[in-house]
């Protein structure tokens, strides 16, 4: 069977999280061929893969959203659109429901989406949508905001799609729209896996953004919610990683009968050989397996460690993960370390975490948003306790879901560096508690979150939909 993996903002350009998940999935299905449809933000990253593609990856299509924003078009054309077709575009702009298949059909008629955006026909649509919600704002500002919002979408759905027997997007958003388009054009099965809830994550980013004027933020948020509904409507199966996200998917409009929960899994054999490294008496290390990006809230980690360091002078902090995804944010984190005067903070960059995890006594994760973090599962497989913010499935991983394995760490509020520090200090000072939680962590992973369980679930899913 040939499977098309549709990925946005992740594989094969960025390490960690979803990208690691994709690599793991492909490697564990040598009997299938894979083609990758990779959606990136910036064309400058074309061909810059950070993963060696497995041998069963037989092709890759790269599409970059910024490419379309630099296209030039001609003003003032007129396109033939019916009144009902115009309403579809208005509903897209105003966050209302519409039939995505009809939108796909309309967009397929245009030779140049930039020409359409600059046409009299789109100007009429825009004027009517503007009058509904934004008549008190500048029309010029509204036009350019809408252009930046819809042009990448309009163009991405007009790109050639790979031939496959089954399509599998690993997020909603642009990847979800492409998945819906593939289902519409090919009539082949389409699976959506949501690691986090795409719309909630984009909403949080937009609310905090400085580049978008406040009165247009709701428009962009509604736009992303609409894109997710396209994926929900066309998916044969929508996969959630844990129960709470399933509930959110239903709240956002995904039919409950489509949703299946398949948790992540890790290979216990990979981590069973990692031994704790000997160290000087009193030395203790805190670690974080994480990309240095704002959504992971590294600054809160640093603030928390500054408090830990006051209480435990021999503590060290290893932040293990790439620092080049958001260089400006990394610089801000480095300046914060300097400003606080905190010692023994080590940014390792991209590393093999198996080379470091033996040094670590307590792992921490301070993300603002998560799905079911592989970093926590890897930590649990190494019999280490974690301090994690109450996001995604962290509570379920560390405290269980009506199982009998016991607590595997401490869950703390988002951005509360005082409580995060207190939890880390409690574990650092109590080796017995660390050992007990580490044992509980391992037992929970071995019972619920193994790689074998994960792969077997997807093998059955692929077989049921792909017929192989």
Same domain, 206 and 111: no
Same domain, 133 and 184: no
Range of the domain at 56: 2-70+160-261
Same domain, 403 and 295: yes
- Contact in structure between 407 and 431 (CB atoms under 8 Å): no
With 0-12 / 13-18 / 19 or more C-beta atoms within 10 angstroms meaning exposed / middle / buried, residue 385 is: buried
Same domain, 335 and 389: yes
Same domain, 121 and 167: no
Express each pLDDT in 195-245 by its tens digit: 989 998 899 889 888 888 888 999 999 999 999 999 999 999 999 999 999
CA–CA separation, 363 and 388 (whole Å): 8
Express each pLDDT in 331-384 by its tens digit: 999 999 999 999 999 999 989 888 999 899 999 999 998 989 999 999 999 999
Express each pLDDT in 386-405 by its tens digit: 999 999 999 999 999 889 99
55: which residues sit within 8 A by CB, 6+ positions away? none
- Choosing from 150, 177, 206, the residue where a domain stops is 150
- Contact in structure between 233 and 249 (CB atoms under 8 Å): no
Q: Answer whether residue 460 is part of any domain.
A: no
Name the pLDDT band for 467 (thresholds 50, 70, 90).
low
Q: Report the pLDDT value the prediction gives residue 383, as an integer from 0 to 100.
A: 94
Does position 123 have pLDDT exceeding 90, yes or no? yes
pLDDT cut 90: percent of the chain above it:
79
Same domain, 407 and 297: yes
Same domain, 273 and 257: no
Express each pLDDT in 265-293 by its tens digit: 999 988 888 877 767 777 899 999 999 99
Query: How many other β-carbons are positioned within 10 Å of the β-carbon of residue 23?
Result: 18
CA–CA separation, 53 and 35 (whole Å): 10
- Contact in structure between 34 and 11 (CB atoms under 8 Å): no
Name the pLDDT band for 419 (thresholds 50, 70, 90).
very high
Same domain, 97 and 191: no
- Choosing from 216, 245, 261, the residue where a domain stops is 261
Q: Answer whether residue 382 is part of any domain.
A: yes
Q: Report the pLDDT value the prediction gives residue 466, as an integer from 0 to 100.
A: 76
Torsion angles phi and psi, residue 239, rounded to 5: -100, 130
Q: Report the pLDDT value the prediction gives residue 369, as an integer from 0 to 100.
A: 87
Same domain, 239 and 205: yes
CA–CA separation, 289 and 9 (whole Å): 19
The residue with greater pLDDT, 63 or 275, is 63
First to last CA, the chain: 7
Q: Answer whether residue 40 is part of any domain.
A: yes
Stated pTM of the model: 0.89
Query: How many other β-carbons are positioned within 10 Å of the β-carbon of residue 62?
Result: 18
Beta bridge pairs of residue 168: 5, 191
Q: Report the pLDDT value the prediction gives residue 112, as an integer from 0 to 100.
A: 87
- Closest by Cα among 274, 282, 240, 212 to 396: 240
Task: Please state the domain count of the chain.
Answer: 3
The residue with greater pLDDT, 67 or 434, is 434
Does position 189 have pLDDT exceeding 90, yes or no? yes
Same domain, 405 and 324: yes
Q: Answer whether residue 428 is part of any domain.
A: yes
CATH at residue 34: 3.40.50.2000
Query: How many other β-carbons are positioned within 10 Å of the β-carbon of residue 150?
Result: 20
Q: Report the pLDDT value the prediction gives residue 468, as an integer from 0 to 100.
A: 57
The pLDDT mean for the chain works out to 93
- Choosing from 212, 238, 261, the residue where a domain stops is 261
- Contact in structure between 307 and 417 (CB atoms under 8 Å): yes
Q: Report the pLDDT value the prediction gives residue 74, as an integer from 0 to 100.
A: 82
Strands, E assignment, 91-245:
166-169, 190-194, 237-240
Same domain, 278 and 350: yes
Task: Annotate 272-309 with DSSP letters as a single string.
Answer: HT--PPP--TT-EEEEEE---SGGG-HHHHHHHHHHHH
Q: Answer whether residue 457 is part of any domain.
A: no
Name the pLDDT band for 330 (thresholds 50, 70, 90).
very high
CA–CA separation, 92 and 226 (whole Å): 7
Q: Answer whether residue 456 is part of any domain.
A: no
Q: Report the pLDDT value the prediction gives residue 322, as an integer from 0 to 100.
A: 92
Q: Answer whether residue 57 is part of any domain.
A: yes
Burial 434-449 (b: 16+ CB within 10 A, else e): beebbebbbbbbeebb
Same domain, 224 and 146: no
Q: Answer whether residue 355 is part of any domain.
A: yes
């Amino acid at each position: 069977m040939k499977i098309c993996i549709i990925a946005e903002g992740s594989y094969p350009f960025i390490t960690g999280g979803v990208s690691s998940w994709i690599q793991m999935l492909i490697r564990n299905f040598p009997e299938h061929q894979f083609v990758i449809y990779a959606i990136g933000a910036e064309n400058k990253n074309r061909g810059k893969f950070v993963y060696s593609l497995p041998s069963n990856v037989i092709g890759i299509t790269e599409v970059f959203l910024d490419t379309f924003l630099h296209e030039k078009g001609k003003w003032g054309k007129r396109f033939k659109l019916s009144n009902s077709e115009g309403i579809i575009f208005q509903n897209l702009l105003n966050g209302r429901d519409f039939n995505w298949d009809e939108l796909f059909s309309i967009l397929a008629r245009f030779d140049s989406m930039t020409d359409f955006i600059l046409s009299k026909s789109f100007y009429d649509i825009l004027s009517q949508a503007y009058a509904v919600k934004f008549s008190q704002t500048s029309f010029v500002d509204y036009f350019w905001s809408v252009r930046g919002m819809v042009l990448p979408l309009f163009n991405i759905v007009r790109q050639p799609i790979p031939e496959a027997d089954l399509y599998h997007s690993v997020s909603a958003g642009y990847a979800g729209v492409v998945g819906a388009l593939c289902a519409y054009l090919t009539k082949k099965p389409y699976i959506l896996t949501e690691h986090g809830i795409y719309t909630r994550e984009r909403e949080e980013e937009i609310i905090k953004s400085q580049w978008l004027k406040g009165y247009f933020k709701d428009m962009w948020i509604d736009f992303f919610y609409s894109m997710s509904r396209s994926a929900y409507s066309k998916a044969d199966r929508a996969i959630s990683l844990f129960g709470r996200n399933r509930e959110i998917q239903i709240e956002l409009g995904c039919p409950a009968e489509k949703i299946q929960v398949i948790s992540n899994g890790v290979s216990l054999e990979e981590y069973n050989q990692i031994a704790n490294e000997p160290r000087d008496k009193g030395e203790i290390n805190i670690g974080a397996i994480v990309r240095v990006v704002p959504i992971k809230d590294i600054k809160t980690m640093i603030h928390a460690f500054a408090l830990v360091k006051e209480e435990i002078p021999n503590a060290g902090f290893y932040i293990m993960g790439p620092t080049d995804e958001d260089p400006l944010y990394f610089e801000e984190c480095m300046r914060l370390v300097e400003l606080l005067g905190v010692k023994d903070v080590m940014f390792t960059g991209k590393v093999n975490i198996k080379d470091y995890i033996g040094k670590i006594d307590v792992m921490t994760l301070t993300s603002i948003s998560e799905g079911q973090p592989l970093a926590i599962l890897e930590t649990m497989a190494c019999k280490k306790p974690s301090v994690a913010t109450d996001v995604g499935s962290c509570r379920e991983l560390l405290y269980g879901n009506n199982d009998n394995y016991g607590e595997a760490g401490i869950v703390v509020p988002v951005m509360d560096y005082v409580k995060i520090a207190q939890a880390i200090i409690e574990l650092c000072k109590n080796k017995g508690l660390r050992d007990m939680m580490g044992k509980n962590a391992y037992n929970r992973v071995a019972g619920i979150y193994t790689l074998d369980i994960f792969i077997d679930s997807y093998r059955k899913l692929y077989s049921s939909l792909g017929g192989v």
